[in-house]
Amino acid sequence: MDETRRGTWNSTEASESYDWTFTTPYGGTVASTSGRAVPEWRETEKRIDRTMLTARDPILLYDELTLYESELDDNGVAHLGLKVRVMPKCWFVLLRYWLRVDGVLIRLRETRFFCDVTDTDASGAPRVVRETQHREETWESLRARGAPCEPKQFPDADQAASVLLAAGGPVDVVFHELAFPPAA
């Protein structure tokens, strides 16, 4: 290889790994504070307390943030957004990626984080639960189950989620609980 070309960008490698739908596997980052060991996610039977989320408690903080969005060159929509809600007894975060490629597929990846601040482990650390759901359907499979298959019926992530849920297609769901290492 010519020495002047060593370390240059290989466009073939980049094009093979490029995902034009901007799909992300990201499910959150765990970091350490004050020099403690980094907590880790462990599979759990614990679930998000949806009753607590629907309680009429005051919402102390709510925010929505679009992290990125693309119209995929007029072929659909890709959107990654974040919603945060803090209540007196709990907090909740939803990271939602949704994709609609018109005439091809609908994809929904949701990661939910929930913490009941009154529920702690033996060390006194709060219990944080992460729920990850992946749903993906082709237009063809939705049509076969009698679900709507027009782009206008999927204008946003909420509508896509309700149609995918009603269609009863496959969904991968995994639950994790944040495990804090013992204090030194």
Question: What is the pTM assigned to this prediction?
Answer: 0.82
Note whether residue 138 is domain-resident: yes
Task: For the chain, list residues with pLDDT below 70.
Answer: 1-18, 183-184
Note whether residue 143 is domain-resident: yes
Which secondary-structure segment (H or E) carries 160? helix 157-167
Note whether residue 27 is domain-resident: no
Note whether residue 118 is domain-resident: yes
Domain count, the chain: 1
Residue 68, classed as helix, strand or coil, is strand
Domain that holds residue 44: 36-179
- pLDDT at position 17: 63
Contact 39, 28 (CB under 8 A): no
- pLDDT at position 94: 97
Contact 80, 89 (CB under 8 A): no
Beta-carbon-side half-sphere exposure of residue 110 (alpha carbons within 13 Å): 19
Note whether residue 21 is domain-resident: no
| Start-to-end CA span in the chain (Å) | 52
Gap between the Cα atoms of 115 and 89, Å rounded: 8
Note whether residue 56 is domain-resident: yes
Place of tokens 């992290």: 67
Note whether residue 90 is domain-resident: yes
Beta-carbon-side half-sphere exposure of residue 101 (alpha carbons within 13 Å): 12
Note whether residue 20 is domain-resident: no
